[in-house]
Chains A and B, each alone.
Chain A
Amino acid sequence: MSTSITAPAGRPAPSRGSSTSQTEAPRPITGKSISVGRRVRNTTATVLVGLAVLVAAVPLAFVLVYVVSKGGGVFNLAFLTESIPISSRRAGPGMGPAVAGTLLITGAATLMAVPLGILAAVYLNEYGQANRLAAAIRFLSDVMAGVPSIVMGLFIYTVWVLRFGMSGFAGALALACLMLPIVIRSTEGVLRLVPRDLREASTALGARTSRTILTVVIPAALPGITSGCLLAVARAAGETAPLLFTIGTVRALNPNLFEGTNTALSAQIFVNAQLPFVAAQNRAWGAALTLILLVLLLTIIARIISARFTVR
């Protein structure tokens, strides 16, 4: 067996590879060897993909530029802290109560939806898996994700506001209902990506399922869970319709979530943009810019948290 591979010294081994390379010229590796049709198709596809990116990015850029140019004029620190002028005609700051309201209401909604959503996702992916209850929950959360936000607002209006009146908390309930399916589905997706290897490693060391989830699965999935939750928060922060039924649109600051009508940036945009006064419209633009910056800030925080918890 070994004799057949060893060639006599000094002479190249006669093999099939060498004989073909002597008779055939090496195939060219310059661009000309690729057919015209293929090159045309390649260029077309590249151009189309580039155009698609452009078409997708242009509206986004326009919205940003427009909001900044319109809202930038009134936006300053006083705008964020001063109360809303009693007379809508009067120019000047601010949107303080709406900023506070958005932070409070969205914060309360987050406190309700995120823990519940993460627990539901843990149940779905780690315990329920393919059983009927899990399938039903998955189906319902998909349906819930598709419910228009105004319907969610009406729902909270009938079950809560009619009995207890408008309050920031009622708004938070409506937003939490909107956030819940987003949190559930994004968290479940991330949990599913945690490799089985890690669960097995933990189990093989004598960890119970609950322990494995708390100490291995959730930490491994944390960056993804965080960004999923932040996406839900950003979505909720911009919602207007469900708030109109549940918190009202007052001008005064109301730090009490559980009593009395409240206000939020999105609600103020809605109200002020409809007013015939330039000053009010400008404040609406300023509120829009504030909202965008708020979401941007949340996204940056989420990125930082994710980066800190990701072990590479």
Chain B
Amino acid sequence: MDKKKIIIVEDDEFLRSLSAKKLEDEGYQIIVATDGQSAIDLIPKELPNLIFLDLLLPGVDGFEVLKQIKANEQTKNIPVVVFSNLGQEEDIKKAKDLGANDFLVKANFTLDDVVAKIKEILK
């Protein structure tokens, strides 16, 4: 069976490598993007099963990435889990209105929580 593919969009190197390693250990194929523009370029090419998206990114931000994904016929059904420093109600609402499946506030979740969330969506 093919491995399920996850794109991690995160500019913090440490968090990115930790989550990539953890998810690889869980049996997923991981592709990383370190900023918004490369995420927008990569996602339609790779067509992952899930996108793990930070919101505060250098250049194009995560909200914009989300907008572009949802505007593209090919990518609009890919589930998106937002993982961000932001966590005010209006940020969460904005992301959900743009089509995010879930919104995790950084620091409030452990990596295991994150994996559990992703597993549940990819079930």
Answer yes or no: do A and B interact.
no
Chain A interfacial positions (CB closer than 8 Å to B) = none
